[in-house]
């Protein structure tokens, strides 16, 4: 079983799998569930444990709720399927009602996996196309830029505060502090910023009339 986000519940998949195992008279050795993990990831805790147990010969059949619960990409799906086949372990998908007990079942599973990958790629492309359109229309994508009091940052730097101290006081990143200082220098403030005490020392008092 696998769900991509933490607010989803793998128990919905578990009910169907329990019904399948009861119908076929199987004994459940272990339940493997990846909760809040994308199927696009090759390494997943439950999947890794399942493959490790398969190599130790702990079971004879792997049942999944759907093919895309095991893997999203065709390449990864085929790698897992080939290893299970090499270990003489049958693969069964509950939703598609398919198994690898024969060559026809194996071929259909591969086709369905390819369709699932195509569907995922189409979704990604639609999202990217939407982002490109929004950018052309002048719509900002992502987080709003941080509201920073630039003059306050410059004053703190002139007082001798370090970049880390300024970043912490203004709740911004150290990189943003550095960027503000560099931009200020490019705008005409050449050389190091003087501290207030240094400005006072460099100012000569006017002579009395």
Q: List the catalytic residues.
A: 4
CA–CA gap between residue 131 and residue 137 (Å, rounded): 10
Single out the residue of 145, 149, 199, 157 nearest to residue 181, CA to CA. Answer: 157
Residue owning tokens 């943003």: 176
CA–CA gap between residue 199 and residue 197 (Å, rounded): 5
Single out the residue of 136, 133, 135, 170 nearest to residue 155, CA to CA. Answer: 170
Residue 142 is encoded by which pair of tokens? Answer: 């992502």
CA–CA gap between residue 45 and residue 64 (Å, rounded): 16
């Amino acid at each position: 079983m696998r769900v991509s986000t933490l607010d989803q519940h793998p128990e919905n998949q578990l009910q169907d799998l329990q019904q399948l195992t009861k119908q076929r008279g199987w004994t459940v050795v272990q339940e493997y569930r990846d909760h809040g993990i994308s199927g696009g990831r090759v390494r997943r805790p439950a999947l890794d444990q399942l493959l490790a147990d398969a190599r130790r010969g702990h079971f004879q059949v792997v049942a999944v709720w759907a093919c895309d619960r095991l893997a999203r990409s065709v390449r990864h799906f085929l790698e897992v399927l080939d290893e299970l086949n090499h270990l003489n372990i049958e693969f069964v998908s509950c939703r598609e009602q398919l198994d690898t007990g024969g060559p026809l079942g194996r071929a259909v599973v591969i086709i369905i996996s390819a369709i699932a990958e195509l569907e995922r790629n189409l979704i990604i492309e639609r999202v990217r196309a939407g982002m490109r359109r929004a950018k052309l229309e002048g719509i900002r994508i992502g987080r709003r830029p941080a509201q920073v009091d630039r003059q306050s940052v410059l004053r703190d730097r002139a007082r001798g505060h370090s970049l880390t101290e300024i970043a912490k006081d203004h709740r911004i990143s150290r990189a943003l502090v550095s960027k503000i200082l560099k931009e200020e220098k490019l705008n005409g403030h050449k050389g190091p910023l003087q501290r207030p005490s240094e400005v006072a020392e460099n100012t000569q008092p006017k002579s009395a009339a």
